[in-house]
Structure 1
């Protein structure tokens, strides 16, 4: 009675759908035996479903085992003597990646070092040019020389040439030599302006002797044009002094040579001449200048002033070697001469020592007053007695201009 009251209290207010659960109500009313009978009758019907589940599980398990065996066989084929191929390839790839990263870092460091080295060279070159009053224009101009020994270390100059410089009394390069020599040795064309007595002759002779091979039988390798016979003879003498110790064929174009020489059989490495004699040899004697590697116009302002423009143009055309290096050296460089120079030169370097077209500071100038013609002669003798050996290695005879004031 108490249980009925308790259940009534628990389920008070709830509605039970008897139609929906009628089968369950009937089963409980029949007693435990009926429930057991119903479960036994229902077991055969549920047995097939459990059997199917078991079969499905066994099939799935067999598939998983088969898959595992296949993966095991594949992994076993990739293992050779305890070494996994895929693992080794992965390790190798990681090693290669690390090596590439290390190589890239080293390359970056090398680029930084090169840039710093180039910046130091540019700064050193600027300091030297400022110190020696050298002015340049052009792209990628080589750095000036600090001393002649640098020719051996940086440009592989033969020791005999440096030895000849020392024997001739050259201790330090002059400003024009510091910049013009490395410019020509670098294969650049140039026109240079420097005062008289500053060593321009050595500035263009030295690179020629360094670059051409002595004793060549292939024709003329270098041509030097001078405005006067005296300057051509002096240049020839200086060239022979510098070339002492090697069998260079250095020729001065004399009148007899230009009119009667057999140029086809003549061995000549360096030819020094005036424009008219050289043009005559080219036009009348079939002198071949097609293998000329260096063409130098010394005192170019005088060459163009003396009316040799057409002759020089003919000689330039005769020197038809496409790799020829042309250079102009002068004590003054008027704008008209510079404009003409640019028409025959390509990517040339412009080198000026001191101020352009200014009076040379190395030459002593003085004004002498003479009352009579006899006084002019005495003053001229005194001036000749004061002429001394030039420190650059060349002897210059400077004739003073003596004015007569009444």
Structure 2
């Protein structure tokens, strides 16, 4: 009996081993990340560093949108005091109350619409305000409209949410949507429209009449609007950029995203905010809780100082950028075959190089490898960026001057 039991068990084991089994691969990744791509600026930064290592020569670095100015001292000191006083513990996922109050007051003052601290969510940078809000609003199969060329995160957050990307072309000067096309692309599936003014990569500012038309359509088709206003203080020809958040009836369906990186030279501090209807803040707070936990408490103390302190450094920086903008626009437009609109805000020049008969990527690679100047191809910001390059004049003036000379000498060879 024991022998029979042993034989039976052995036969069962043999059959199990011999049985065909479906092969399952555990090294594959989820569909939601299959189409994600890095920001082009990081790829060009790495490529520029590689060229410097290989050649032993310095590249004129005009690819990254990072202010070269230091964080103003009163902000730095506030952050240091916060650390020294023990503000190094967890904070509320949606932010410390003092910063939410400062953001609410700042938003009320700058956008002309009463904003409450309960409508403010703080995050480690402005991107959570974009990304997590999209996850809270959008279902699989919904459509999300965004500018093309535009900031790459807009497409990334749409794909991650399982939604359908609907890129909207901009006018040739980069100021606004091609409104006739925008209206045609709206459908019953439209759930969210993303605006960016002043915009990256064009520096364009969307005019009030287009914002009012989008507001009308938002109410008619019942879609949400995210307005990315991270460059709202970096303006050169107008005192303030119009905001769809300020249009009557739009506060209830608008998420206003802003932050400290560009305006206060705090890119590494990772601090931003989003203003939204209070019923939505509760959902976004849950996403913050389960993704990042909270934003560093001491950086939030620095944020309060930024919003409530003196703005002398900011005003000086804007004047410096204005001077750099004039240098860049004049320099680029003096190059045969190049056309550069005047950006109204941010610190980017988006210039047309389509006359040279090469793709944007081919020209940007040629400029890097042969000209030793790093700029971004327009297609890093979407298919409609073909024929354009983006130059950041947040870089130091000497690099800008050197870069312009190298762009001229390289493009002459084409």
TM-score (norm 2): 0.31
More helix by share: 1
TM-score (norm 1): 0.32
Structure index of larger Rg: 1
Q: Which has the higher contact order (CA 8 A, sep 6+)?
A: 2
